[in-house]
Structure 1
Amino acid sequence: MSRPTVLLVNWRDTRHPEGGGSERYVERMAEGLARRGFGVTVQCAAHPNAPADEVVDGVRFRRRGGRFSVYVYALVAIARARVDLVIDVQNGVPFFSRLVARCPVLVLVHHVHREQWRAVLGPVLGRLGWFVESRLAPRLYRRCRYLTVSEVTRAELARLGVSSSRTTVVHNGLDPVPLTRAGRDADPTLVLVGRLVPHKQVEHAIDAVARLSTRWPKLRLEVVGDGWWLANLRAHALLRDVRDRVTLHGWVDEQDKHEIIARSWLHVCPSVKEGWGVAIMEAAAHGVPSVAYRAAGGVAESIVDGETGLLATDFDDFVRKVDRLLRDEELRESMGVVGQLRAAGFDWDRSVDAFEKAVRASIRS
Structure 2
Amino acid sequence: MSKKFLKVFNSPFSGPLFFWSASMFANFLNWLFNLHAGRLLTKEDFAILTVFLSFQYLVTVPANALLTTVSRFAAYYHEKAEHKKYFDFFRQYWWLSWVLGVLSLTIFTILLNPLSSFFGISSPYFMGIFSLLLTPLFLLSFEKGVLFGRLAFIWVGILIITEALVKYLFLFFSASLPFKPLEVAVGSLPISIFAAWFISLLIARSFHPISAYKPSPEKKENLFDTYKFLSNSLFATLGTVLIYSLDVLLVKHFFNVSDAGIYATLSLLGKILYFGAGSLIGILIPLTARSLAQNSSGRKGFITLLSIVSAAGAFLLSLYIFAPHFIVNLLLTQKGFVAIEYLNRYSLAMFLLVLSTCFSTYNLAKKNYFPSRLIILFALIQAGLITLYHNSLSQVVDVVLRTNILLFAAILVTEVLNFSSDTLKNNFSQLIDLFRSDKAVTNSSGKKILIFNWRDTKHLLSGGAEVYIQEIATNLVQKGYSVTVFTSNDQRNPKYETIGGVNIIRRGGFVTVYIWAFLYYVLKLRGKFNLIIDCENGIPFFTPLYSNIPVILLVHHVHQDVFFSSLVPPFSWIANFLESFFMPSVYKKQNVVAVSNSTAEELKNEVGLKVTSIITNGVKIDGAAVIKKSAKPTIIYLGRLKKYKNIDVLIHAFSNLLKELPEARLIIAGEGDQKEKLERLVTDLNLKTKIEFTGKISEKRKTRLLSSAWAMVQPSSQEGWGITCLEANACKTPVIASNVSGLKDAVKEGISGYLFDQGNSIQLSNILKNLILDTKKRKALEKSSKRWSQHFSWQKQAQKFDLLISQTLQDSRPQKTNISLSNLFRKLILSRI
Q: What interval of TM-score do these two structures reach, taking the shorter chain for normalisation?
A: over 0.9
* SS of the residue 1:360 aligns to: helix
**Is 1:311 matched up with 2:758?**
no
Distance 1:177 1:329 in 2: 26
- Which one of the candidate residues 69, 84, 94 is aligned to 2:512? 69
Encode CA deviations 1:255-314: one digit per residue, 9 max, x unaligned. Answer: 22222222211110011222111211111112211111111x211111101221111113
Aligned match of 1:299: 743
Bigger fraction of residues in strand? 1
Counterpart CA distance in 2 for 1:273 and 1:181 is 29
Tell me if 1:11 matches 2:454: yes
Deviation at 1:218, TM superposition (A): 1.5
Aligned to 2:499: 56
The partner residue of 2:609 within 162, 186, 190 is 162
Do 2:621 and 2:703's aligned partners in 1 also have CA atoms closer than 8 Å?
Answer: no
The 10-residue stretch of structure 1 (172-181 or 5-14) with the greater mean CA deviation from structure 2: 172-181
3-state SS of paired residue (2:624): coil
**How much does 1:124 deviate?**
4.5
Q: Which stretch of the first structure deviates more once superposed, 179-188 or 200-209?
A: 179-188
- Deviates further, 266-275 or 175-184: 175-184
Q: Is the 8 A contact 1:177 1:282 kept in 2?
A: no
Q: Counterpart of 1:204?
A: 649
* 8 Å contact kept, 1:326–1:332: yes
Deviations 1:115-156 (A, max 9, x none): 211221035432332222122211211101111211111111
In 2: Cα distance, 1:10 partner to 1:148 partner: 15
1:329, distance to aligned residue in structure 2 (A): 2.0
CA distance in 1, matches of 2:569, 2:754: 31
Equivalent in 268, 276, 281 of residue 726 of structure 2 = 281
| Residue 181 of structure 1, CA deviation | 6.4
Counterpart Cα distance in 2 of 1:90 and 1:41: 17
* C-alpha spacing 1:216/1:122, structure 2 compared with 1 (3 Å): farther
Secondary structure of the equivalent of 1:212?
helix
> Structure 1, residues 153-181: CA drift from partner, whole Å, max 9, x if none?
111111121124xx211111211332346
| Equivalent in the alignment of 2:541 | 95
Q: Residues 218 and 129 (structure 1 numbering): CA distance in 2 closer, same or farther, change over 3 Å? A: same
Q: Which residue pairs with 2:808 in the alignment?
A: 362
Q: 1:37 aligned to 2:484?
A: no
Q: Give SS of 2:592's match.
A: strand
8 A contact 2:449–2:481 mirrored in 1: yes
Counterpart-to-counterpart distance in 1, 2:797 and 2:510? 29
2:790 corresponding residue in structure 1:
344
Q: Which amino acid aligns with 2:753?
A: G
Which residue does the alignment assign to 1:329? 775
Q: Structure 2 matches for 1:223-234, cutoff 5 A?
A: 223-234=668-679
Q: Secondary structure at the match of 1:196?
A: coil
The amino acid across from 1:189 in the alignment is T
Cα offsets for 1:332-359 (capped at 9, x unmatched):
2211111101112222111111111112
Partners of 2:568 and 2:686 lie apart in 1 by 29
Hey, what's the Cα distance between the residues in 1 that align with 2:668 and 2:625? 18
Tell which has more relative contact order, 1 or 2 (C-alpha 8 A, sep 6+): 1
Q: Report how far residue 250 of structure 1 moved.
A: 1.2
Map of 1:146 onto structure 2: 592
Other-structure match for 1:179: 624
- For the 8 Å contact 1:64–1:73, the answer to whether it is kept is yes
SS of the residue corresponding to residue 783 of structure 2 reads helix
1:216 offset after TM fit, Å?
1.5
Over residues 98-122 of structure 1, what are the superposed CA-to-partner deviations in whole Å (9 max), with x where a residue is unaligned? 1111111110011111221122103
Deviation sequence 1:36-81 (CA, Å, 0-9, x none): 2222211111233321123333322111111111101111233342
Residues 178-257 of structure 1: matches in 2 within 5 Å?
178-180=623-625, 182-257=627-702
1:226 Cα offset (Å): 2.1
Partner of residue 111 from structure 1, selected from 557, 560, 582: 557
The AA in structure 1 aligned to 2:771 is L
Does 2:564 correspond to 1:121? no
Q: Count how many residue pairs are aligned between Structure 1 and Structure 2.
A: 362
Question: Which structure shows the higher helix fraction?
Answer: 2
**Does the 8 A contact of 1:197 with 1:228 survive in 2?**
yes
Q: Distance in 1 between the 2:646 and 2:454 partners?
A: 22
The question of whether the paired residues in 1 share the 8 Å contact of 2:621 and 2:727 is answered with no
Distance 1:73 1:157, change over 3 A: same
Q: TM-score, normalised by structure 1?
A: 0.94
**What value does the CA root-mean-square deviation take over the aligned residues?**
1.8
Determine the structure 2 residue equivalent to 1:265.
Answer: 710
How far the C-alpha of 1:328 sits from its partner, in A, is 2.1
The alignment status of 1:79 with 2:522, answered yes or no, reads yes
Would the aligned equivalents of 1:51 and 1:63 in 2 still touch at CA under 8 Å?
yes
Q: 1:238 Cα deviation (Å)?
A: 0.8
Local SS of the residue matching 2:689: helix
Cα deviations across residues 171-226 of structure 1 (Å, max 9, x unaligned)?
Answer: 11211332346422232211111112222221111111112221121221011122
TM-score scaled by structure 2?
0.42
Q: Is the 8 A contact 2:713 2:735 kept in 1?
A: yes
Whichever residue aligns with residue 757 of structure 2, its letter is T
Name the CA distance, whole Å, in 1 between partners of 2:763 and 2:585.
Answer: 38
CA distance in 1 between counterparts of 2:724 and 2:650 reads 15
Q: Provide closer, same or farther for how the CA distance between residues 217 and 123 of structure 1 changes in structure 2, counting only shifts above 3 A.
A: farther
Cα separation, partners in 2 of 1:115 and 1:332, compared to 1, 3 Å: farther
The verdict on how the C-alpha distance between 1:128 and 1:267 changes in structure 2, with shifts beyond 3 A counting, is same
Unpaired segments of 5 or more residues in structure 1? Answer: none
Structure 2: tracts of 5 or more residues without a match: 1-443, 812-833
Structure 2 letter corresponding to 1:308: S
Distance 2:691 2:707 in 1: 17
Q: In structure 1, how many angstroms separate the alpha carbons of the residues matched to 2:785 and 2:681?
A: 32
Higher deviation after alignment, 183-192 or 145-154: 183-192
1:118–1:125 CA contact under 8 A, matched in 2 = no
The answer (yes or no) to whether the contact 1:210–1:241 under 8 Å persists in 2 is no
Conservation of the 8 A alpha-carbon contact between 1:174 and 1:282: yes
Equivalents in 1 of 2:521, 2:744: separation in Å? Answer: 35
How far apart, in 1, do the equivalents of 2:686 and 2:585 lie? Answer: 49
Distance 2:776 2:516 in 1: 54
Amino acid at match of 1:25: Y
Give the AA of the match of 1:162.
L
